[in-house]
Structure 1
């Protein structure tokens, strides 16, 4: 017998309608936030960033592929990793299906990581992904957009997600979720956390590239597809630590 509260269909509908009013307010609030993102001032990028791709070395402007907008997912995959971050990987599992729609709405898309293009291509093949994935290894794109930090920066304290983190935070002590994620990525927790996730948006206008938006940490939750479903499931996220895996690792010990 269920331990959850039960009721009649009428009682359910009454509670559902009350929830609906709050859901509608949440939606309106989300629409307002989206408008505020679009109203942020654009910052012109004069620095020339280069990326390695299967087609060769390209510039940030080249990543637009003739479109006026570019979305980049900052995928945690450092050169020392033996596999992509499992959290980023679970997010990326939804990219194949959306890219065609973005590209036909004047929006280019690519993931960007520090690992070499060879490592990215091998992992991409393993995962069965088809979206574009570029390596920022030739330059300091990841550092400039606050998704990569050196060991010295990490020890001194880093600025990530628009706030300052103290040096050598709790993951050095071990035993937390970061340990599980770093192990699945093939590195220790400190090396794992030198790379960070994020999403950045860019515009191309009159031949110039502009940075328009970046979100980090839980700011990427909105594109983490499985959570939108779990938030509507009977038991919600129902989490006790890290439960997700690379999708080809479920069922393995």
Structure 2
């Protein structure tokens, strides 16, 4: 039993007390995000060229005549045939319909280092419709902090590991000029995970000790969807990897 059983009056008092804390947290959240309205930005001098399913596309063209562009740095390297489980979990939590985002002058695109053929194959497998381009053979991932070498930086701190990392970057376009306005990594991505937000309001919460049980959505079987899964081969690795990528 997650919590103790109480009377209706006791529950109501506890809920009112929690609501006070929730409102304080929400106001703090709003205040932090309000600083992004006039946050400093950096002009992007390199008009990176990516590869889409229909051919070359530039960073500027990814805006699709809108003012804002959000890019998710999806971990799918040239040597992989399937995407990162954590990044796939992120993609599954995106809105299935981006019309609301588009109506606010904003475009959303996934970018990975894998060649476009591998991206298209995995995208088809996952049945995603999001725009997804390849940064293969460009410096884009390294320039925006998601391809690192030992001694490099990830999430604005020096790290001793190397390889691909998840992240999200925001760009603004004024005329023909493109500006980098914001990037977030690791736990900074957590606020975009609707599944986590729904689980946060349940008695059992996220059940973080079983975080490795997240799978590619076509790998769940009937047993997985009925109850918690016990340890299986590979789950220890997944837990460690997801904890590393989405830690503070």
TM-score w.r.t. the length of structure 1 is 0.84
Which 4+ stretches in 1 moved above 4 angstroms? none
Deviations 1:73-114 (A, max 9, x none): 111111111210011101101335242211122101101010
**Which of the numbers 152, 157, 179 marks the counterpart of 1:163?**
157
Aligned equivalent of 1:236:
205
Q: Alignment partner of 2:147: what SS?
A: coil
**1:89, 1:246 within 8 Å by CA — same for their partners in 2?**
yes
Q: In the alignment, is residue 77 of structure 1 matched against residue 76 of structure 2?
A: yes
| Correspondence for 2:238 | none
What is the deviation of 1:225?
Answer: 1.7
Q: State the partner residue of 2:216.
A: 246
Q: Which of 190, 214, 233 matches 1:221?
A: 190
1:125-181 per-position Cα deviation (integer Å, ceiling 9, x unaligned): 1001001001011311000001012xxx23xx221000112x25xxxxxxxxxxxxx
Instruction: Tell me which residue corresponds to 2:18.
Output: 19
Contact 1:95 1:131 (C-alpha < 8 Å) held by counterparts: no
How far apart, CA to CA, are the structure 2 residues paired with 1:94 and 1:43? Answer: 29
Contact 1:96 1:131 in 2 (8 A): no
Residue 3 of structure 1 deviates from its aligned partner by: 6.0
C-alpha separation in 1, matches of 2:2 and 2:58 = 57
In 2, distance between residues paired with 1:84 and 1:24? 37
Distance (whole Å) between structure 1 residues aligned to residue 2 and residue 127 of structure 2: 41
Unaligned runs of 5+ in 2: 225-231, 233-248
Could you tell me how far apart the structure 2 residues matched to 1:132 and 1:110 are? 5
Q: Which residue is equivalent to 1:205?
A: 174
CA RMSD of aligned residues (A): 1.5
Distance, in Å, in 1 between the alignment partners of 2:95 and 2:189 is: 17
- Kindly indicate whether the alpha-carbon contact (under 8 Å) linking 1:96 and 1:130 is maintained by their aligned counterparts in 2: no
Structure 2 equivalent of residue 179 of structure 1: none
Residues 2 and 203 of structure 2 are in contact (CA less than 8 Å); yes or no, is this contact kept in structure 1? no
1:55 match: 54
Give the 3-state SS of the residue equivalent to 2:171 in structure 1: strand
Task: Report the counterpart of residue 66 of structure 2 in structure 1.
Answer: 67
Give the drift of 1:62: 0.4
Q: Normalization by structure 2: what TM-score?
A: 0.86
Q: How many residues align?
A: 222
Give the unaligned 5+ runs of structure 1.
169-192
